[in-house]
């Protein structure tokens, strides 16, 4: 049979209360079984009497003795419990309130640690996102292009779907910078990026390739569809109104297109083919779209 065990709560203004007890304790003090699952039930009077009879080396009250160092204290008492004849009982008591406080503190610290780990993970994600974004346009940057394109090409191969690459370049951008200044040039680049995003599909992924160049990856898009999209971008940029130094200026762009797998099966080959098509568009008078 197991030893009687009970968990008590010390009260400053009243008798201690019984928090939990095992079957042996209930039988010893004649507690009825329905009381067992109840919390904060009053201690039986005979147990309180036993506490009052405790003798120890210290003359301090029982609870003061227990609170001295948290160690287990031994008390000897003589009382009649479930047996008809009185007998000596060795009572072992220990103040575990400090352990409870420590457990609560550890629980709080654990929750704080989890929150810090969550914050760190979110910060890492923000830093990662910033590292692959162009600060001026918030488009993806060239650094992220190879990683993303390899992933998209793998999907295209697996699903046997086309993938188009469009290279776009603003026409006469150096002249615009020389005439109106770099601040106006940045404003134009921002405007073009917004127009490209506004006229793109949700699946299209845009990159600022460098300077006044943009690159767009079009998953699951054939040559005809890519040509239609690029022409739409070209038209909207040409029709946009931009003012620099109180003067309206017109911006045009040229574009070159390549399609997987016809013009290449690697990221390098597709970008090179689109760049060559862009060069042809420039050489043919600008403000136009050329297929590779």
> Which residues are tagged catalytic?
212
CA distance 264 to 203: 21
CA distance 257 to 248: 30
Q: Is the dihedral of CA 118, 122, 123, 128 positive or negative?
A: positive
Tell me the two tokens of residue 162. 């086309």
Cβ(49)–Cβ(79) under 8 Å?
yes
For residues 156 and 205, give the distance between their C-alpha atoms in angstroms, rounded to a whole number: 15
The distance in angstroms from the start CA to the end CA of the chain is: 89
Find out whether the peptide bond into 261 is cis, omega within 30 degrees of 0: yes
Q: Is 59 helix (H, G, I), strand (E, B) or coil?
A: coil
Task: Give the position of tokens 């650094």.
Answer: 143
Closest CA to 164 of 39, 62, 257, 236: 257
Angstrom distance (rounded) from CA 288 to CA 254: 5
């Amino acid at each position: 049979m197991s030893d009687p065990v009970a968990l008590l709560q010390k009260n400053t203004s009243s008798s201690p209360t019984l928090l939990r007890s095992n079957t042996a304790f209930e039988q010893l003090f004649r507690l009825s079984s329905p009381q067992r699952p109840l919390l904060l039930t009053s201690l039986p009077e005979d147990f309180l009497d036993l506490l009052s009879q405790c003798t120890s080396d210290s003359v301090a009250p029982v609870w003061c003795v227990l609170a001295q160092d948290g160690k287990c204290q031994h008390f000897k008492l003589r009382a009649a419990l479930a047996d008809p004849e009185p007998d000596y009982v060795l009572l072992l008591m220990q103040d575990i309130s400090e352990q409870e406080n420590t457990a609560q503190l550890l629980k709080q610290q654990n929750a704080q640690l989890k929150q810090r780990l969550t914050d760190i993970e979110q910060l890492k994600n923000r830093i990662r996102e910033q590292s692959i974004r162009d600060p001026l346009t918030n488009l993806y940057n060239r650094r992220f292009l190879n990683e993303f394109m390899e992933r998209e090409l793998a999907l295209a191969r697996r699903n046997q779907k086309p993938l188009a690459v469009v290279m776009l370049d603003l026409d006469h951008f150096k002249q615009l910078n020389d005439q109106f200044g770099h601040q106006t040039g940045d404003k134009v680049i921002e405007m073009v990026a917004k127009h490209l995003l506004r006229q793109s599909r949700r699946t299209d992924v845009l990159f600022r390739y460098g300077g006044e160049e943009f690159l767009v990856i079009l998953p699951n898009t054939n040559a005809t569809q890519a040509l239609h999209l690029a022409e739409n971008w070209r038209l909207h940029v040409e029709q946009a109104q931009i003012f620099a130094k109180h003067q309206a200026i017109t911006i045009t762009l040229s574009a070159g297109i390549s399609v997987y797998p016809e013009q290449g099966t690697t990221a390098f080959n597709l970008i090179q083919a689109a760049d060559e098509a862009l060069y042809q568009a420039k050489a043919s008078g600008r403000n136009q779209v050329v297929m590779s």
